[in-house]
Protein backbone atom coordinates (compact mmCIF):
# COMPACT_ATOMS: atom_id res chain seq x y z
CA UNK A 1 0.00 0.00 0.00
CA UNK A 2 1.03 3.57 -0.59
CA UNK A 3 2.44 5.65 2.22
CA UNK A 4 -0.38 8.19 1.87
CA UNK A 5 -2.96 5.75 3.22
CA UNK A 6 -6.20 7.46 4.33
CA UNK A 7 -7.14 6.09 7.73
CA UNK A 8 -9.54 6.61 10.62
CA UNK A 9 -9.92 10.27 11.53
CA UNK A 10 -8.97 11.51 8.05
CA UNK A 11 -11.32 13.42 5.78
CA UNK A 12 -12.48 11.25 2.87
CA UNK A 13 -10.90 12.63 -0.34
CA UNK A 14 -12.82 14.79 -2.80
CA UNK A 15 -13.87 12.91 -5.93
CA UNK A 16 -16.20 13.06 -8.93
CA UNK A 17 -16.43 9.84 -10.93
CA UNK A 18 -18.52 8.27 -13.67
CA UNK A 19 -20.63 5.44 -12.28
CA UNK A 20 -22.99 2.76 -13.50
CA UNK A 21 -26.37 3.14 -11.82
CA UNK A 22 -28.65 1.14 -14.13
CA UNK A 23 -28.73 -1.23 -17.08
CA UNK A 24 -31.77 0.59 -18.50
CA UNK A 25 -30.91 2.13 -21.89
CA UNK A 26 -30.28 5.86 -21.56
CA UNK A 27 -30.06 5.74 -17.75
CA UNK A 28 -26.88 3.70 -17.32
CA UNK A 29 -24.42 6.35 -16.15
CA UNK A 30 -24.29 9.12 -13.55
CA UNK A 31 -21.55 11.19 -11.96
CA UNK A 32 -21.07 10.39 -8.26
CA UNK A 33 -19.13 12.73 -5.98
CA UNK A 34 -18.67 13.72 -2.36
CA UNK A 35 -21.90 15.71 -2.72
CA UNK A 36 -23.73 12.36 -2.74
CA UNK A 37 -22.23 11.62 0.69
CA UNK A 38 -22.81 14.96 2.41
CA UNK A 39 -24.72 14.68 5.66
CA UNK A 40 -25.05 10.88 5.36
CA UNK A 41 -23.29 7.84 6.69
CA UNK A 42 -21.53 6.20 3.75
CA UNK A 43 -20.04 2.78 3.06
CA UNK A 44 -17.72 2.58 0.06
CA UNK A 45 -16.22 -0.78 -0.78
CA UNK A 46 -13.57 -1.48 -3.41
CA UNK A 47 -12.80 -4.60 -5.43
CA UNK A 48 -9.74 -5.31 -7.60
CA UNK A 49 -11.22 -6.10 -11.04
CA UNK A 50 -14.45 -6.71 -12.86
CA UNK A 51 -15.02 -10.11 -14.51
CA UNK A 52 -13.20 -11.98 -11.73
CA UNK A 53 -14.21 -14.62 -9.21
CA UNK A 54 -14.32 -13.32 -5.61
CA UNK A 55 -15.55 -9.82 -6.52
CA UNK A 56 -19.07 -10.75 -7.68
CA UNK A 57 -19.66 -12.75 -4.49
CA UNK A 58 -18.94 -9.62 -2.44
CA UNK A 59 -20.90 -7.26 -4.68
CA UNK A 60 -23.91 -9.61 -4.64
CA UNK A 61 -23.74 -9.89 -0.83
CA UNK A 62 -23.66 -6.09 -0.41
CA UNK A 63 -26.65 -5.92 -2.78
CA UNK A 64 -28.57 -8.56 -0.76
CA UNK A 65 -27.97 -6.37 2.30
CA UNK A 66 -28.80 -3.07 0.58
CA UNK A 67 -31.93 -2.50 2.69
CA UNK A 68 -29.86 -3.11 5.85
CA UNK A 69 -27.74 -0.11 4.84
CA UNK A 70 -30.67 2.11 3.85
CA UNK A 71 -32.46 1.17 7.12
CA UNK A 72 -29.39 2.67 8.84
CA UNK A 73 -29.68 5.81 6.69
CA UNK A 74 -26.42 4.89 4.99
CA UNK A 75 -25.53 5.27 1.32
CA UNK A 76 -23.66 2.41 -0.31
CA UNK A 77 -21.14 2.69 -3.14
CA UNK A 78 -19.02 0.03 -4.83
CA UNK A 79 -15.86 0.97 -6.71
CA UNK A 80 -12.94 -0.34 -8.74
CA UNK A 81 -10.41 1.04 -11.18
CA UNK A 82 -12.29 -0.43 -14.16
CA UNK A 83 -14.13 1.92 -16.53
CA UNK A 84 -17.85 2.59 -16.41
CA UNK A 85 -18.14 0.67 -19.70
CA UNK A 86 -16.51 -2.42 -18.21
CA UNK A 87 -18.79 -2.11 -15.14
CA UNK A 88 -21.81 -1.87 -17.44
CA UNK A 89 -20.76 -4.89 -19.52
CA UNK A 90 -20.18 -6.93 -16.35
CA UNK A 91 -23.61 -6.01 -14.98
CA UNK A 92 -25.24 -6.92 -18.29
CA UNK A 93 -23.56 -10.34 -18.42
CA UNK A 94 -23.55 -11.46 -14.77
CA UNK A 95 -26.92 -12.55 -13.34
CA UNK A 96 -25.97 -11.62 -9.75
CA UNK A 97 -25.11 -8.04 -10.80
CA UNK A 98 -27.96 -7.10 -13.14
CA UNK A 99 -30.21 -5.69 -10.41
CA UNK A 100 -27.70 -3.80 -8.26
CA UNK A 101 -29.28 -1.11 -6.11
CA UNK A 102 -26.09 0.93 -5.61
CA UNK A 103 -23.69 2.69 -8.01
CA UNK A 104 -20.54 1.04 -9.34
CA UNK A 105 -17.97 3.85 -9.31
CA UNK A 106 -15.38 3.83 -12.10
CA UNK A 107 -12.05 5.18 -10.87
CA UNK A 108 -10.51 4.79 -14.33
CA UNK A 109 -7.74 7.32 -13.64
CA UNK A 110 -6.99 5.49 -10.36
CA UNK A 111 -6.76 8.92 -8.72
CA UNK A 112 -9.15 8.18 -5.85
CA UNK A 113 -7.67 4.74 -5.14
CA UNK A 114 -4.21 6.30 -5.22
CA UNK A 115 -5.24 9.09 -2.83
CA UNK A 116 -6.76 6.49 -0.50
CA UNK A 117 -3.49 4.53 -0.68
CA UNK A 118 -5.12 1.24 -1.68
CA UNK A 119 -3.44 0.35 -4.98
CA UNK A 120 -1.81 -3.07 -4.98
CA UNK A 121 1.40 -4.12 -6.69
CA UNK A 122 2.64 -3.53 -10.20
CA UNK A 123 -0.81 -3.90 -11.75
CA UNK A 124 -2.17 -1.05 -9.57
CA UNK A 125 -5.57 -2.61 -8.88
CA UNK A 126 -7.41 -1.70 -5.69
CA UNK A 127 -7.23 -3.87 -2.61
CA UNK A 128 -10.54 -5.07 -1.14
CA UNK A 129 -10.92 -1.94 0.96
CA UNK A 130 -14.05 -0.90 2.85
CA UNK A 131 -14.62 2.55 4.32
CA UNK A 132 -17.29 3.76 6.71
CA UNK A 133 -17.52 7.55 6.52
CA UNK A 134 -19.60 9.64 8.93
CA UNK A 135 -22.01 12.42 7.88
CA UNK A 136 -19.23 15.01 8.28
CA UNK A 137 -17.03 13.20 5.74
CA UNK A 138 -14.61 11.73 8.31
CA UNK A 139 -13.40 8.13 7.89
CA UNK A 140 -14.51 6.21 10.97
CA UNK A 141 -13.51 2.66 9.93
CA UNK A 142 -11.27 1.07 7.31
CA UNK A 143 -10.85 -2.61 6.58
CA UNK A 144 -8.51 -3.85 3.87
CA UNK A 145 -8.34 -7.46 2.74
CA UNK A 146 -5.69 -8.99 0.55
CA UNK A 147 -6.69 -9.62 -3.04
CA UNK A 148 -7.45 -13.31 -2.45
CA UNK A 149 -9.81 -12.94 0.55
CA UNK A 150 -13.41 -11.73 0.40
CA UNK A 151 -14.82 -9.53 3.13
CA UNK A 152 -17.69 -10.09 5.59
CA UNK A 153 -20.68 -7.80 4.96
CA UNK A 154 -22.23 -8.71 8.33
CA UNK A 155 -19.10 -7.32 10.02
CA UNK A 156 -19.40 -4.07 8.06
CA UNK A 157 -22.99 -3.74 9.31
CA UNK A 158 -21.96 -4.60 12.90
CA UNK A 159 -19.29 -1.90 12.91
CA UNK A 160 -21.67 0.61 11.30
CA UNK A 161 -24.21 -0.11 14.06
CA UNK A 162 -21.56 0.37 16.72
CA UNK A 163 -20.35 3.66 15.23
CA UNK A 164 -23.89 4.96 14.96
CA UNK A 165 -24.50 4.42 18.69
CA UNK A 166 -21.76 6.98 19.46
CA UNK A 167 -21.17 4.93 22.61
CA UNK A 168 -18.52 2.50 23.85
CA UNK A 169 -19.14 -0.92 22.28
CA UNK A 170 -17.25 -3.95 23.66
CA UNK A 171 -15.67 -6.77 21.69
CA UNK A 172 -18.18 -8.74 19.57
CA UNK A 173 -20.93 -6.21 20.40
CA UNK A 174 -24.03 -6.47 18.22
CA UNK A 175 -27.00 -4.14 17.83
CA UNK A 176 -29.38 -4.37 20.78
CA UNK A 177 -26.73 -5.36 23.31
CA UNK A 178 -25.62 -3.18 26.18
CA UNK A 179 -22.90 -0.64 25.55
CA UNK A 180 -20.25 0.21 28.15
CA UNK A 181 -20.45 3.04 30.66
CA UNK A 182 -17.14 4.37 31.94
CA UNK A 183 -16.90 4.29 35.73
CA UNK A 184 -14.97 7.03 37.39
Is 6 part of a structural domain of the chain? no
Q: What is the pLDDT of residues 131-165, one digit of tens each?
A: 999 999 999 999 999 888 888 999 999 999 999 99
Can 55 be counted among the known catalytic residues? Answer: yes
Q: Which domain holds residue 52?
A: 16-165
Say how many domains are in the chain: 1
Q: What is the pTM of this model?
A: 0.91
pLDDT of amino acid 164: 96
Distance CA 52, CA 147 (A): 11
Is 131 part of a structural domain of the chain? yes
Q: Which of 55, 143, 169, 171 is catalytic?
A: 55
Distance CA 54, CA 57 (A): 5
**Is the CB of residue 123 less than 8 Å from the CB of residue 132?**
no
For 70-112, what is the HEC assignment?
A: HCCCEEEEEEECCCHHHHHHHHHHCCCCCCCCCCEEECCCCHH
Residues of the chain with pLDDT under 50: 1-2
Is 55 part of a structural domain of the chain? yes
**Is the CB of residue 47 less than 8 Å from the CB of residue 78?**
yes
CATH number, residue 114: 3.40.30.10
Amino acid sequence: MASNFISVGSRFPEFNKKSVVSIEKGKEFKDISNKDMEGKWTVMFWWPKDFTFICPTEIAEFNKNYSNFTDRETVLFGASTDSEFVHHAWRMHHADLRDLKFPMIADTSKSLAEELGILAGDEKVAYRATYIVDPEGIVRWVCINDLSVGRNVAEVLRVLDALQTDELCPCNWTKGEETLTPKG
